[in-house]
């Protein structure tokens, strides 16, 4: 079971209520600290691209089901931008809680709406007791790189479900980068695109063969976990 601590991150002004000893300390990792702002920029851009491509922040079937004082969690929140954007188009009575294993990419606290807070959860560990059963909606997005064999996806989903109130909703958005190609159909002999594609194929093969990476049938994963009314949107 995770232990409770209260730490203050001096760089972004967040008070972190949930940590389990795995927080990445900026002083321990000076090299990564130097690149953190680049990663934050990348995540913000990626959020824009994904939201535009998918066409919604939150699946339209979910909003009508939320109570007037909905509590919404975004696990592995990265910057917190998904919550920030959702808060700006949601009733002010909702509260938004972002969690991550690291605060390195968090947007500054004073740039967030007052009903958005950011803190710590490691989705690979049991969820702290005081958070269990407290959310109407749990969102998670783009964590395939932290997954691996199907058992890791299953265990993660099981942990996430413990955050939900009875009747709560979980949304998981991910990309099957294991089959992604930089330039589909590019001439195999001549282009820089081909070099990128070749690199991707090599990386993906290593991830699958050596490290057991997988991308499960998400609908089946959800149904096997006992979730009801499962809907799956697939984009190419």
- The nearer residue to ligand SAM, 71 or 141, going by C-beta atoms, is 141
Distance CA 212, CA 210 (A): 6
Residue 22 CB, shortest distance to ligand SAM, in Å, is 8
**Which position's Cβ is nearest ligand SAM?**
78
- The nearer residue to ligand SAM, 9 or 77, going by C-beta atoms, is 77
- The nearer residue to ligand SAM, 79 or 90, going by C-beta atoms, is 79
Residue 123 CB, shortest distance to ligand SAM, in Å, is 4
- The nearer residue to ligand SAM, 143 or 191, going by C-beta atoms, is 143
H-helix or E-strand spanning residue 84: helix 81-88
Residue 185 CB, shortest distance to ligand SAM, in Å, is 27
Residue 102 CB, shortest distance to ligand SAM, in Å, is 4
- Work out the angle at residue 233's Cα, subtended by the Cα atoms of residues 230 and 236, and round it to the nearest 5 degrees: 155
Q: Considering only CA atoms, which of 172, 5, 14 is closest in space to residue 104?
A: 14
* φ, ψ of residue 232 in degrees (nearest 5): -130, 125
How many CA within 13 A on the CB side of residue 228? 3
CB 188 within 8 A of CB 194: yes
Distance CA 84, CA 89 (A): 9
The site for ligand SAM (CB under 6 A) is made up of 43, 47, 76-78, 100-102, 105, 121-124, 141-143, 146
Residue 194 CB, shortest distance to ligand SAM, in Å, is 26
- The nearer residue to ligand SAM, 143 or 186, going by C-beta atoms, is 143
Residue 95 pairs with which residues in a beta bridge? 71
CB 227 within 8 A of CB 161: yes
């Amino acid at each position: 079971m995770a232990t409770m601590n209260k730490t203050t991150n001096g760089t972004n002004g967040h008070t972190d209520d949930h940590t389990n000893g795995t927080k990445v300390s900026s002083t321990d990792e000076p090299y990564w600290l130097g690149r953190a702002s680049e990663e934050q920029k990348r995540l913000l851009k990626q959020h824009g691209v994904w939201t535009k491509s998918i066409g919604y922040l939150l699946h339209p079937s979910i909003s009508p089901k939320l109570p007037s004082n909905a509590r919404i969690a975004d696990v592995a929140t990265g910057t917190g931008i998904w919550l920030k954007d959702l808060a700006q188009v949601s009733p002010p009575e909702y509260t938004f809680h972002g969690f991550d294993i690291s605060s390195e990419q968090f947007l500054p606290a004073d740039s967030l709406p007052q009903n958005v807070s950011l803190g710590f959860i490691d989705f690979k560990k049991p969820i702290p007791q005081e958070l269990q059963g407290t959310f109407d909606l749990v969102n998670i997005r783009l964590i395939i790189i932290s997954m691996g064999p199907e058992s890791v996806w299953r265990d993660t989903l099981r942990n996430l479900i413990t955050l939900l109130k009875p009747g709560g909703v979980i949304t998981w958005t991910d990309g099957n980068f294991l089959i992604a190609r930089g330039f589909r159909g590019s001439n195999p002999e001549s282009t820089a695109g081909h070099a990128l594609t070749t690199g991707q194929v090599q990386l993906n093969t290593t991830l699958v063969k050596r490290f057991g990476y997988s991308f499960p049938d998400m609908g089946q994963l959800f149904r096997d976990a006992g979730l009801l009314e499962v809907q799956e949107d697939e984009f190419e």
